[in-house]
């Protein structure tokens, strides 16, 4: 049965074909396959510069410190460019927020730059126009607005923290005092700001200091999950966890959540509870810590959890932190904040600052106010810059029809999206990697955004458009940013600009704000209305902004490992009750509103909770994301953006879903081991090498190896995309994923064990193990895979004839075969993102993780020319470099004093499938028990 589940499509593809037919097709394939070897001559042209740019060395990449934005926050990065083509983003190493690491979305943004579906021309009423026409129209419009002090001018943007935007906005409102700015951000943090207002009297941003926290309680707060904060929080949490591993300090993480999250997986005690129930449990926890009273009847399990949490929190004064997620009601979050404050968190594990994101005049009701004014006919000119409200609009706001009431609607975006279809004017926006700008990171430090490449198309940035809106066409984005900082820095501007630009950011975090906790908020119990339907951003598409990114679409989502789709996530109990199986289309109703989407049974989910994921069901003609998945926004309410109540029923249809790992149930101990905490500090007993018929492999340094600490891995998938970007790994599409032909060199395996209601779950990144006794090498009939003197399992593409024997011999199943030419038909833009240091594979060859061979070779050449050995840490594999928690370490295992060797001598070091005795060079560190430490 399990084989059938795992290879479902293979069984389907075989169908009822007779043995003879199969043989005939095989014969034909064999006869034809020889032809595919014929290929054209390489391009003989050599085109040098006319005048070579200064300091440019042909063939050498150049690096620029810059930033991309995500949810309005800067994600500071170093951009790699080859011959002017941005190819890879890495975290900015000196930035305190990220420490040089990134998340999956940031890694994926370089592909967005080259998205062939990007908007490239100005459009008027849907037809191509020109910037000259647009700017002339704006000059006329500005004259009209001057006469009425800007009355009727409304500006709608996504969340932003850009100082230049703030300056431009101020200039605009100074000139036109009646103009108003609104914000539309589907996955917003308004609830968190409201919570600080309730608790401390004014809206503040919370900066969690997870590196200083020894006891953390998350109440529906996915601290380590996807989002703009993931890099910062993952990095800080890992610091605390590493200290714990070394025996200094404790590391307790307790979680209550309605649906499984990455934070829940890392928790020592995870309790599933409904969204509304969590409010009551927060009260109970506060009461247990001596704050307020609670009259909640608790189940024995809840009593146990709360007792444990309260004890751990109170045992760590000044090092405790209680966080309720931004999707909880503000009162619940406020209570959690006050509990934190009582436990001495303020200034220690929790720093409150003025809001990092700029706050629109109407605050959280900004978008609703705009819709209301539109309907009332108060809006003359509406400029929608860099957001997509027609797609993401909550069901109770009729935004798209209301747009007809505005005289002029101007839309600027990266795509000709749903909103563009309702606008008179559409202007193409520049991508962050081709523009000048600025934004603040989650810690408030401003990043300067500098272009890695000239705009690919004739596009503009938002500040330039703001100038155009005021009748001043032709502004340069660089001048506008410089103007902002000239005003901020005064006389020292020139020097400071020169030193800040290469550094990438201004090292001034927002100062801690003075905050005094007020009265305890009253927590209302929402009426019981059936199932709780929760809205959550998608781990690949987020709110829809990343939907058109093939790398992200093909990135297996945590827990379900699904690609190219969003699902309605339900609990196993509910599935049984309603007779629903994975892939059954279900109808989710709330009041008069309904959506339909495929169901997925999520072990560990609260019984009455249904999770719908935002970001899909886009209407984006010509784009990858067009019409895939279901749109969850029509179920959402502006008054209740994260939770509605309703019901769910089978719709009588099925939808084919493409999980990368169809079976996640396993005996956990076979793969992911758990060890007592002291095993991180004890040395392993000397390993006995099992006898072998084969001669010993040379062991002269350097010998490459990798260690992956499963105690730190949060399953964020940043490594998978980083590997994809670095190694030119193709995306193959849903159809091929369904056949098990996805190409990721590094996958994050998901395992769960135990009861469906409360399973034990774990992540395990699995690259090529680079076995010392590699079975694949024995299998290859043409020696296309062999062992290097440095212990690498090498794959030689030009020798490979595609028998796939190696893959069938590989116990870890990490080899990937090019069933088709996945890359040959890539558009010229997409070709530009490729790393020139890595071969682009074509049809019929096997490929796999190379331990980032190109980086090893580059470092070796550098070291040899400098006459020294390669330093420890000099080579970072792409996955290692991206990992926010530094779970992956790579280096020389033949030298005892390298980071990787220091890990491999720990008692908790182990290899998977040890019984196969392939002697993998990639080993794992067991997860640690937090209790009893």
Partner 1 sequence: MAQIFSPAADTWLRVATVVLAGGVVGGTLFASGLARSTYETRQGWHVDQPVPFSHQHHVGDLGLDCRFCHAGVEKSWNAGFPATHTCMTCHSQIWTGAQILAPVRDSLAKDKPITWTRVSGLPDYVYFNHQIHVGRGVPCVECHGRIDKMPMTYRGEAFKMRFCLDCHRHPEGRLKPKDQVTRMDWSGWTAKDQASFGKKAMQAYHLNPSRMTDCSLCHR
Binding site for partner 1 (CB under 8 A): 42, 44-52, 57-60, 698, 700, 786, 788-790, 792, 794, 796-798, 837-839, 850, 853-854, 856-857, 861, 864-865
DSSP string, 624-641: TTBT-S---GGG--SSSS
Q: How far is the CB of 826 from partner 1 (least distance, A)?
A: 17
Whether the Cβ atoms of residue 317 and residue 329 lie closer than 8 Å to each other: no
Q: Residue 48 or 300: which CB sits closer to partner 1?
A: 48
Q: How far is the CB of 90 from partner 1 (least distance, A)?
A: 20
Q: How far is the CB of 400 from partner 1 (least distance, A)?
A: 48
Q: What is the DSSP letter of 598?
A: E
Q: How far is the CB of 790 from partner 1 (least distance, A)?
A: 7
Q: Residue 215 or 856: which CB sits closer to partner 1?
A: 856
Q: Residue 753 or 790: which CB sits closer to partner 1?
A: 790
Q: How far is the CB of 729 from partner 1 (least distance, A)?
A: 14
Q: How far is the CB of 798 from partner 1 (least distance, A)?
A: 4
Q: Residue 433 or 856: which CB sits closer to partner 1?
A: 856
**Dihedral over Cα of 195, 199, 205, 207: its sign:** negative
Q: How far is the CB of 42 from partner 1 (least distance, A)?
A: 6
CA atoms within 13 A on the CB side of 538: 35
Q: How far is the CB of 61 from partner 1 (least distance, A)?
A: 10
Q: Residue 378 or 787: which CB sits closer to partner 1?
A: 787
Q: Residue 57 or 297: which CB sits closer to partner 1?
A: 57
Measuring CA to CA, how many Å separate 830 from each of 326, 731, 805?
36, 11, 32
Q: Residue 7 or 82: which CB sits closer to partner 1?
A: 82
Measuring CA to CA, how many Å separate 216 from each of 228, 317, 479, 830?
20, 12, 45, 43
- Closest Cα partner for 447 from 386, 503, 510? 503
Q: Residue 839 or 880: which CB sits closer to partner 1?
A: 839
Report the distance separating Cα 708 and Cα 899, nearest Å. 12
- Closest Cα partner for 109 from 252, 229, 222, 228? 228
- Closest Cα partner for 581 from 652, 644, 665, 645? 652
The C-alpha angle with vertex 360 and arms to 359 and 366, in degrees rounded to 5, equals: 125
Q: How far is the CB of 747 from partner 1 (least distance, A)?
A: 21
Q: How far is the CB of 690 from partner 1 (least distance, A)?
A: 26
Phi, psi of 496 (to 5 degrees): -65, -40
Q: How far is the CB of 797 from partner 1 (least distance, A)?
A: 6
The C-alpha angle with vertex 922 and arms to 917 and 926, in degrees rounded to 5, equals: 95
Helices (H), 201-345: 230-245, 262-266, 275-288, 300-314, 330-342
Q: Residue 653 or 862: which CB sits closer to partner 1?
A: 862
Q: Residue 555 or 784: which CB sits closer to partner 1?
A: 784
The C-alpha angle with vertex 244 and arms to 238 and 248, in degrees rounded to 5, equals: 130
Q: How far is the CB of 56 from partner 1 (least distance, A)?
A: 9
The DSSP bridge partners found for residue 180 are 154
Q: How far is the CB of 743 from partner 1 (least distance, A)?
A: 17
- Closest Cα partner for 769 from 661, 682, 850? 850
Q: What is the DSSP letter of 868?
A: S
Q: Residue 101 or 703: which CB sits closer to partner 1?
A: 703
Q: Residue 311 or 796: which CB sits closer to partner 1?
A: 796
Q: What is the DSSP letter of 526?
A: P
Report the distance separating Cα 483 and Cα 642, nearest Å. 40
The radius of gyration of the chain from alpha carbons, rounded to an integer in Å, stands at 28
Q: Residue 45 or 825: which CB sits closer to partner 1?
A: 45
**Dihedral over Cα of 735, 739, 745, 748: its sign:** positive
Q: How far is the CB of 857 from partner 1 (least distance, A)?
A: 7
Where does 149-236 show beta strands of DSSP type E?
153-157, 180-183, 205-208, 215-219
Two tokens, residue 811: 């116990």
Q: Residue 632 or 856: which CB sits closer to partner 1?
A: 856
Q: Residue 54 or 897: which CB sits closer to partner 1?
A: 54
Two tokens, residue 801: 């004839």
- Closest Cα partner for 459 from 436, 491, 487? 436
Whether the Cβ atoms of residue 658 and residue 744 lie closer than 8 Å to each other: no
Q: Residue 209 or 795: which CB sits closer to partner 1?
A: 795
Q: How far is the CB of 792 from partner 1 (least distance, A)?
A: 6
Whether the Cβ atoms of residue 218 and residue 258 lie closer than 8 Å to each other: no
Report the distance separating Cα 625 and Cα 597, nearest Å. 16
For residue 456, count CB atoms less than 10 angstroms from its CB and return exposed for 0-12, middle for 13-18, buried for 19 or more.
middle
- Closest Cα partner for 614 from 533, 551, 673? 533
Q: How far is the CB of 692 from partner 1 (least distance, A)?
A: 21
3-state secondary structure of 683: strand
CB atoms within 10 A of CB 295: 8
The C-alpha angle with vertex 90 and arms to 87 and 92, in degrees rounded to 5, equals: 135
């Amino acid at each position: 049965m399990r084989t059938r589940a795992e290879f479902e499509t293979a069984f389907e593809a075989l169908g009822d074909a007779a043995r003879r037919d199969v043989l005939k097709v095989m014969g034909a394939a064999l006869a034809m396959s020889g032809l595919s070897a014929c290929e054209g001559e390489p391009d003989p042209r050599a085109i040098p510069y006319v005048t070579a740019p200064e300091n440019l060395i042909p063939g050498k990449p150049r690096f620029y410190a810059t930033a991309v934005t995500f949810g309005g926050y800067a994600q500071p990065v170093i951009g790699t460019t080859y011959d002017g083509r941005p190819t890879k983003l890495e975290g900015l190493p000196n930035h305190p927020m990220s420490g040089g690491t990134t998340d999956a979305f940031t890694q994926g943004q370089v592909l967005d730059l080259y998205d062939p579906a990007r908007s490239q021309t100005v459009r008027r009423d849907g037809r191509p126009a020109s910037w000259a026409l647009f700017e002339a129209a704006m000059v006329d419009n500005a004259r009209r607005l001057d006469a009425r002090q800007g009355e009727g001018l409304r500006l709608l943007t996504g969340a932003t923290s850009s100082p230049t935007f703030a300056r431009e906005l101020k200039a605009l409102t100074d000139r036109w005092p009646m103009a108003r700015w609104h914000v539309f951000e589907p996955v917003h943090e308004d609830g968190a700001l409201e919570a600080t207002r309730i608790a401390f009297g004014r809206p503040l941003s919370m900066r969690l200091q997870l590196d200083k926290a020894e006891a953390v309680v998350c109440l529906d707060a996915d601290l380590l999950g996807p989002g703009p904060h993931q890099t910062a929080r993952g990095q800080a949490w890992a610091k605390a966890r590493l200290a714990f591993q070394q025996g200094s300090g404790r590391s307790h993480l307790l979680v209550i959540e309605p649906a499984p999250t990455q934070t829940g997986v890392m928790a020592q005690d995870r309790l599933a509870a409904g969204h509304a129930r969590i409010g009551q449990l927060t009260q109970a926890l506060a009461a247990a810590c001596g704050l307020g009273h609670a009259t909640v009847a608790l189940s024995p399990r809840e009593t146990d959890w709360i007792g444990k949490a309260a004890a751990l929190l109170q045992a760590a004064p000044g090092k405790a932190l209680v966080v309720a997620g931004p999707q909880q009601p503000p009162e619940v979050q406020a209570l959690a904040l006050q509990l934190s404050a009582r436990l001495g968190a303020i200034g220690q594990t929790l720093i409150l600052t003025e809001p990092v994101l700029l706050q629109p005049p109407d605050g959280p009701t900004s978008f609703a106010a705009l819709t209301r004014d539109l309907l009332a006919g108060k809006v003359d000119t509406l400029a929608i810059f860099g957001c997509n409200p027609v797609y993401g609009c909550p069901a109770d706001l009729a935004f798209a029809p209301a747009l007809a009431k505005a005289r002029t609607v101007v839309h600027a975006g990266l795509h000709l999206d749903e909103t563009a279809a309702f606008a008179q004017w559409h202007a193409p926006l520049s991508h962050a990697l081709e523009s000048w700008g600025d934004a603040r990171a989650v810690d408030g430090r401003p990043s300067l955004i500098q272009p890695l490449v000239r705009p690919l198309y004739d596009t503009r940035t938002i500040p330039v458009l703001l100038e155009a809106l005021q009748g001043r066409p032709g502004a340069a984005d660089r001048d506008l940013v410089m103007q902002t900082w000239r005003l901020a820095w005064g006389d020292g501007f020139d020097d400071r600009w020169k030193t800040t630009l290469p550094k990438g950011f201004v090292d001034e975090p927002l100062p801690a704000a003075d905050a005094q906790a007020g009265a305890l908020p009253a927590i209302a119990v929402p009426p019981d209305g059936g199932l709780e339907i929760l809205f959550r951003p998608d781990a690949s598409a987020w709110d829809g902004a990343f939907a058109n990114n093939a790398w992200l679409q093909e990135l297996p989502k945590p827990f379900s490992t699904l690609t190219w789709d969003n699902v309605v996530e339900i609990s196993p109990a509910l599935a049984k009750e309603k007779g629903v199986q994975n892939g059954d289309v279900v109808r989710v109703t709330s009041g008069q509103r309904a959506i339909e989407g495929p169901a997925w049974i999520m072990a560990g989910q609260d019984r009455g909770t249904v999770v719908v994921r935002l970001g899909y069901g886009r209407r984006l003609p010509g784009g990858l994301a067009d019409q895939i998945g279901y749109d969850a926004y029509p179920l959402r309410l502006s008054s209740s953006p994260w939770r509605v109540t309703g019901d769910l029923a089978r719709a009588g249809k099925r939808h084919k879903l493409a999980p990368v790992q169809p079976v996640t149930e396993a005996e956990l101990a076979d793969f992911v081991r758990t060890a007592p905490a002291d095993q991180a500090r004890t040395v392993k007993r000397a390993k006995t090498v099992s006898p072998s018929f084969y001669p010993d492999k040379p062991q002269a340094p350097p010998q490459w190896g990798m260690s992956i600490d499963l105690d730190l891995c949060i399953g964020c998938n940043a490594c998978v995309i980083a590997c994809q970007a670095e190694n030119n790994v193709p995306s193959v599409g849903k159809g091929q994923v369904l056949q098990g032909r996805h190409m990721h060199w590094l996958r994050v395996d998901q395992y769960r064990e135990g009861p469906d209601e409360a399973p034990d779950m774990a992540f395990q990144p699995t690259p090529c193990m680079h076995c010392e006794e590699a079975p694949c090498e024995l299998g290859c009939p043409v020696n296309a895979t062999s062992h290097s003197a440095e212990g690498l399992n090498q794959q030689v593409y030009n020798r490979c004839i595609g028998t796939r024997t190696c893959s069938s011999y590989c116990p870890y199943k990490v080899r990937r075969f090019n069933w088709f030419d996945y890359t040959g038909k890539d558009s010229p833009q997409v070709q530009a993102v490729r790393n020139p240091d890595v071969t682009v594979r074509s049809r019929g060859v096997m490929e796999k993780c190379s331990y980032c061979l190109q980086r090893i070779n580059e470092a070796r050449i550098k070291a040899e020319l400098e006459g020294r050995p390669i330093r420890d840490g000099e080579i970072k594999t792409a996955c290692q470099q991206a990992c926010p928690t530094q779970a992956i370490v790579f280096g020389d295992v033949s030298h005892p004093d390298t980071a990787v060797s220091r890990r491999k001598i720990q008692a908790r070091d182990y290899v998977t499938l040890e019984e196969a005795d392939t002697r993998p060079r990639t080993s794992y560190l067991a997860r640690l028990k937090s209790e009893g430490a």
